[in-house]
A and B are shown apart, each in its own frame.
Chain A
Amino acid sequence: MRYHLIAIATLLHVAPVDSASAADGRGIAITGAQIYTLSEAGRIENGVLLVRDGRIEAVSAELSVPEGYEVIDAAGRIVTPGLIESYSSLGLVEISGERTTVDSAVAEYPSGASFDVRYALNPAAVALAVNRRDGVTRAVTVPRPGNDPFAGWGALIRLGGEPMLVQPELGMFAAVGAAVSAYVGGSRAAVIQRVRRGLTLAASYNPNRYQPGPGDFSHQDLAALRRFRNSDAPLVVGVDRANEIREVVSLADDFDLDLIVVGGAEAWQEADLLARRSVAVVVNVLANLPSSYERLGARHDNATLLQAAGVRVLLTAAESQNARKIRQMAGNAVAHGMPWEAALAAMTREAATAWGMEKGAGTLSEGAPADLVIWTGDPLELTEWAEAVMIDGAWQDMSSRQTRLFDRYEDPADPDRAYR
C-alpha cells in the first residue's frame, strides 16, 4: 500500500491505528484544519479539535493542546462531522441481485409493520468499509416496501465500531402509491385507507378480542403499530406524487405523528405545507427523471426549493452499496442552488436531528459523539477525498475489499498477486 500525500503519512501513525486509542482515555488533538462545526461556532479557521473518550471535548481556534494528547496536524485540510446516509440498506444487503444476501424486505410473506431490520444487521458486510472510507459514518438502514404499505421498523447503524446497531425502532416505515397498491387491489386510495385503518385499529388493539379477517392486519402487525403509536418514532413514508404527499401529511396530522417523507419527487410543490408541519424530506438529488406517473414533476432542484422554503432536507444516495455517493447528492444540490452549508448540514446535523439522534450528533461541538472526517479539500467536490475517518472517537481502517483488489492489480505483471 502506498500513500502519495505527505499529510496522510503524518496522519498515519494514528490513522489505521489502534482504534482503541481513544477508548483508553488518551486524548486526540486535530490542529490546523478548517473545521465546519455545524454548530453555532460555524466555521473555524486554523482550529483545534479535541477528542476524548469518544466525544468531542472542545473545538475552537483558541485552544492549546493539553499534555499527553496525540496531535494530528491537519493544516490545509477540512474537517466535518461524519456523513449520515438517511435511507439505505447497509448491513442488510451484500449483493442486491443475490436473494440469499438480501434481508431488507419481506416480499412474499404478509408481514408489514412488525418486520424489524435489526435482527439481520451484518457487521461483516463488505459495503460498510467501502462507504466508511469515503466519509459515511452512520446510516439509517431501512425495511424496503414489500407487500404491505407498512414495511416495518428501521434502525440507525454506525459503519465502524461494535455494536453496529445504534438505535433500533428508529421509525415506522411505509410506502404509498402504485408500488404497493397491488397488495390492496390496485388503487392508491386503498393504500391510504389501509394505512389509516392500521393506525386506527392499533389504537384500540386488544389481542384477546381482535379477530383478523382475510387480508386484514395480523396480530403481530397491529401489536407493532400499537407500539409505534405509543413511541416518539416518526412515520417514514415513501411518497412522490403531490396529492399523495398532501394525503400523507393529513394522515399524520389526524394521528398526531411525526412525519418524514422519503423520495418526495413532487415535494417541492408542497414545500410550504411541509415546512409548516415540520415534515423532513429525504431527497435523492439526482432523481430528476419523470420515471413513473408519480414522478412527473421530478426536478433537479427539488432539495433546493424545499430547503429554501424552510423544509428540513435530508439526503440519500439511494444505492445500497454506494452510500458514498451522498457527497455527490450534496454537491449537485449546490450546483442547483442550495447554499453550501445547507447541503453539508443535510447529510450531518439535519439528518441527526430529524432521526432523533443524541444531542450534538451531526455537529462538531462539545459533548457530541466524535464522528468526523478529515478531507483533502471541499468534501462536496468529487475530486477530493477523505484522508481519515473517526467514529465515536476511534480512527477507522481506511482499507476496504476494493483497496485490497487495487493493491493486487496495480502492477499488471505481478506474479505474486495471489499472495497479496
Chain B
Amino acid sequence: MSRSVGIRFLVLFAAISLTGSVAARQPYESTYEPRPAESVLIRGATVLTGTGNRLDNADVHLSGGLIMAVGVDLPIDNARVVDAEGRWLTPGIIDVHSHLGNYPAPGIASTSDGNEMTGPNASHVWAEHSVWPQDPQFPLALAGGVTTLQILPGSGNLFGGRGVTLKNVPAVTVQDMKFPGAKQSLKMACGENPKMSYGPRNQKPATRMGNIAGFRAAWAKARHALDKEEARVAKAEAAEENGEDSDSDEPDVPPARDLGVETLVGVLKGEIMVHNHCYRADEMAWMMDVAAEFGYRITAFHHAVESYKIADRLAEAEICSAMWADWWGFKLEAFDTVTQNVALVDQAGACAIVHSDSATGIQHLNQEAAKAMAAARRQGMAVDEARAISWITLNAARALEIDDRTGSIEVGKAADVVLWSGNPFSVYTRADQVYVDGFPYYDRQAGKRPVTDFELEQTVSGGGE
C-alpha cells in the first residue's frame, strides 16, 4: 500500500533541511535513547514472567538493555549482583490509559490540556503535544513500577485525537520519552461523555444515535479521501509505467492536507490503532459494527465495565478490554460493574487488562490487579498471580502493539522489569527497583528516584517515598 502523501512530504522536507543526514529524523519522531546500563544479575527472585509462568528462586540477567538470560544459577560474569532472595521480579508495569502530563499535578486550568473540547471530532490533535514532562506524577508512577504508559486525550469528544506511548523516564522533551516505533492510537469515546458534552450546547451529538452518526460521517469522509488518494496514486504510477508525461498544464499537486482526516486514514491503513472508551456492552457491539462497515480494527475498549457481558464476542473479535478492578457508580454507564469483570474476560479467552485512568491508581496497578484476582477467587474462579500479572504487563503491551519488545520476562525482550519487596499482590509490597531498558531509574533502598523540576523547593519529593 502506498505511503501517505503527507509522510512523503515530510521525508522530503527532512532530507532537505537536515543537510546530508541519511537517517534523518522525521519531525515528531522519538528521540528516546536508552541510557547505557551496566550488566545486572538479579539472583534468587520469584519471577512472574508475564506469560503465565512463575519461576521460583530464579536468576535474571540484564545486559545491554535487554533480558539476556533467565534461569537458575546463572554465571555472574562481570555483572552487578542484586540479591533478590525473598523478592519478586515482574515485567515493568504498563498502563494503557493515562493522562499524566495532559492533566498534570497540581490540577489547575493553565495546565489542563487533555480534552480539546471545541468540537466533537478532534482527530487532528495529538495528546503528546499536551504532555508536560515535568508533571510530578510521572516519577510517582515509576515508584509504582510503571515503565511504559499510553497517554490518551480525554473522552469528551467522539474522536479525542491521537494517543502516544511513552517510556516513563525523566526527560525534558516528550520526544525523549516516546517509545521508539510504537504506533500512535486514535482515541474514540462512545456513550455519555460526547453527547453530554455537546448536547447541552445545542451542538452535535446530543444523543447516542447522534454519537454513532458522528462516527460514521467521519469514517465515510476518511474512507473517501483514502479511496481518492489511492486512485490518484495508481493513476500516476500507471502513467509513469506507460511512459506518459504528466500533464504539464496541471502539475500533480496533492490535495490540501486535512489533519483530522489524516489520522482516520492512518487507522484505515493500519498505521494507527483505535482505543475506544466504551462502557456498555450494547455500545461496544455498535462500535464493532462501525469498525466492520469502514474496515478498521478496534484494538481495545477502555473502561469496559460491561465487557463481561460480551466476553465471548470480544474474544472472537480479538479486542482487548481495559478495565478497573472495582471503580463504579460514578455514572449510569458505570453502574453494572462486577469485580470479576477482568477475570471473566480473561476466562473467555479475550485480552484482559487492568488500567488506571488515574494518577493515583497508576501508582498501584499491582494492587488493582490483586483486587480483581481476589474477587474472582471469592466467586470460585481459579486465577493465580502468574496469570493476573499479565493483566498489567503482557496484555497491556499487546494492546499497544509493543509486545514483541516489552511486557514479559523473556530472553531478548527489553530489560523493563520491577523488583518488588515481596509478592506484588500483597498490599504491603512495594517496588524496590524499577528498570527501563536495563537502567535502574528507581531504587528505593538507595534513595534514588527522579525529581521533576516542578518539585524543587515545592513538594515532598516522591510523596514521602
Contact = CB atoms under 8 A, between A and B. Distances in A.
Contact of B371 (A382, A406, A413): A382
Given A297-B459, A412-B311, A289 B329 contact: no
A332 interface: yes
Given A332-B427, A385-B374, A402 B339 contact: yes
A353 interface: no
B196 to A, nearest CB: 9
Interface stretch (A194-202, A212-220, A307-315, A322-330): A322-330
A335 B339 CA distance: 24
B328 A380 contact: no
A328 B348 contact: no
Interface stretch (A74-82, A94-102, A183-191): A94-102
A217 to B, nearest CB: 31
Contacts of A296: 106, 458-460
Contact of B340 (A328, A385, A406): A406
Contacts, number: 147
A208 interface: no
Interface stretch (A61-69, A169-177, A229-237, A298-306): A298-306
B105 A291 contact: yes
B379 interface: yes
Nearest to A302: B464
B288 interface: no
B165 to A, nearest CB: 23
Nearest to B315: A412
Given A289-B360, A291-B105, A335 B459 contact: no
B443 interface: no
A94 B329 CA distance: 7
A358 to B, nearest CB: 31
A92 to B, nearest CB: 13
Interface residues of B, number: 54
Interface in B344-359: 344, 348, 359
Contact of A3 (B140, B331, B340, B380): B380
Contacts of B140: 288-289
A409 B463 contact: no
B338 A382 contact: no
B336 interface: yes
Contact of B329 (A2, A299, A320): A320
Interface in B320-338: 326-332, 335-338
Nearest to A404: B338
A298 B371 contact: no
Contacts of B241: none
A96 B348 CA distance: 31
B342 to A, nearest CB: 12
A16 to B, nearest CB: 15
Helix, strand, loop or mixed for chain B's interface? Answer: loop
A302 B465 CA distance: 11
Contact of B464 (A299, A380, A402, A403): A299
A295 B455 CA distance: 12
Interface string A120-155: 000000110000000000000000000000000000
A328 B325 CA distance: 13
A247 interface: no
A382 B464 contact: no
Contact of B367 (A94, A97, A127, A328): A328
Interface in B366-387: 367, 370-371, 373-375, 377-380
A287 B364 CA distance: 12
Contacts of B426: 381, 383
Interface string A25-46: 0000000000000000000000
A94 B140 CA distance: 32
A335 B367 CA distance: 12
Interface in B123-146: 136-137, 140
B360 A287 contact: yes
A410 B347 CA distance: 10
A336 interface: yes
A290 B108 CA distance: 11
Interface in A260-311: 286-293, 295-302
Interface in A338-394: 380-385
Given A126-B335, A290-B463, A292-B107, 11 more contacts: A97-B192, A289-B359, A291-B107, A293-B108, A301-B464, A328-B367, A334-B427, A381-B427, A382-B374, A402-B339, A412-B311
Closest 4 CB pairs of A and B: A299-B464, A331-B427, A321-B329, A97-B331
Interface of A: 2-4, 94-98, 126-127, 286-293, 295-302, 319-322, 324-325, 328, 331-332, 334-336, 380-385, 402-403, 405-406, 409-410, 412-413
24 contacts: A97-B192, A98-B332, A126-B329, A289-B105, A289-B359, A290-B136, A290-B458, A298-B463, A300-B463, A301-B464, A322-B328, A328-B371, A331-B367, A331-B427, A332-B364, A382-B371, A382-B425, A383-B377, A385-B378, A403-B379, A410-B379, A412-B312, A412-B344, A412-B348
